[in-house]
Amino acid sequence: MSVTINTIINGKAVSASADASTSLLEFIRDTLEMKGSKLCCNTGECGACTVIYNGKPINTCVTMAADANGAEIITIEGLADGDKLHPVQQAFVDTGAVQCGYCTPGFIMSVKALLDRTKKPTAEDIEEAVSGNICRCTGYNKIVDAIHLAADRIAGRA
């Protein structure tokens, strides 16, 4: 059974139909052909598919596309302002936090959501915010560096 899904993605109204069993990740990647959100575990464990959904980070692989009707969604493609990267994106590039880069979009969305909530995150805030994102390349060191750098830049401390 096909359903029509109306959402606002990265500020633009989007209307498309998909099978009722489609996950939000499949809807974004396969129906809308926006490939930035990543498919990995498909069980909500790794965070590679994270988007910001009505202001909160969620795993799109375990969210039904049909439930997103009327939702406002920001994906990794919606962060940069033209050629100007969002401070979180820029910080990931600058600190060497992007190794293979496959977990990066999910991490960036989780961190953006964190820094939308607080300008000066504590170590505990950071740990809590990205505890649902797995990175297999970095051992998390450079990612933590990136989060601090982004927070400092957003707050005008760096």
Partner 1 sequence: MAKAELKIIGSSPARMGGIDRVVGKGVYGIDLMLKDQLHGAILRSQYAHAKIVSIDTSEAKKIPGVHAVVTADDAPNVRYGRSYIDRHILARGKVRFMGDPVAAVAADTPAIAKQALKKIKVVYEPLPVAIDPEEATKPDAPTLHDDMPLPKTIPADGKLKNICGHAVVHVGDADKAMAEADLVVDEVYETKMIHPQYLEPRIAAAQMEPNGRLTVWANAQAPFPVRQETAKMLGLPLNNVRVISAGLGGGFGGKGSGITSGGAVEPICGLLAIKAKRPVMIVLDKAEETISTTIRAGARMYIKTGVKKDGTIVARTGKVFYDAGGYSGFGVQAGGRCTNMLGGWYLIPNCHIEGYTVYTNKQVCGPVRGPGGPQAAFAVESHMDSIAAKLGMDPTEFRLKNTPKAGDKIVGVAKLRDVSLGETIRIAKENIGWGKAKLEKNQGIGIATGSWIESAGPGGGAIVKVNEDGSVTVHIGKIDMGTIPGFGIPMIVAEELGIPVSDVTVLNVDTDASPWDAGTVGSRGILVSGGASRLAAIDARNQLFKMAAGKLEASPDDLEIIDKQIRVKGTPAKSVPLATVATDAHNVIGEVIGRGYCDNLQLVAEEKAHGSSQPFTTHACIVEVDTMTGNVKILKYVAVHDIGQPIHRAAAEGQIEGAAAMSIGQALCEQVVFDKDGRTMNPSFVDYLMPTINMMPRIETTLVEGYPGAGPYGAKGAGEIACVPPMACIANAIFNATGVRIKTLPLSPENVLRALKEAGKA
Residues that bind partner 1 (CB under 8 A): 33-43, 45-46, 48, 75-77, 79-80, 85, 89-90, 92-96, 98-105, 108, 126-127, 130-144
Q: Which is nearer to partner 1, 70 or 96 (CB)?
A: 96
Q: Which is nearer to partner 1, 33 or 70 (CB)?
A: 33
Query: Taking the complex as a whole, how short is the minimal distance between the CB of residue 51 and partner 1, in angstroms?
Result: 10
Calpha distance 67→46 (Å, rounded): 21
What type of residue sits at position 135? C
**At 13, is the secondary structure helix, strand, or coil?**
strand
Query: Taking the complex as a whole, how short is the minimal distance between the CB of residue 63 and partner 1, in angstroms?
Result: 17
Residue 94 CB contacts under 8 Å (≥ 6 apart), including other chains:
146, 149
Q: Which is nearer to partner 1, 70 or 134 (CB)?
A: 134
Q: Which is nearer to partner 1, 30 or 152 (CB)?
A: 30
Per-residue b/e over 7-34, b at no fewer than 16 CB within 10 Å? bebeeeebeeebeeebbbbbbbbebbeb
Rg from Cα positions in the chain: 15
Query: Taking the complex as a whole, how short is the minimal distance between the CB of residue 108 and partner 1, in angstroms?
Result: 6
Q: Which is nearer to partner 1, 8 or 39 (CB)?
A: 39
Q: What is the DSSP letter of 65?
A: G
Query: Taking the complex as a whole, how short is the minimal distance between the CB of residue 58 and partner 1, in angstroms?
Result: 17
CB atoms within 10 A of CB 100: 10
Query: Taking the complex as a whole, how short is the minimal distance between the CB of residue 123 and partner 1, in angstroms?
Result: 10
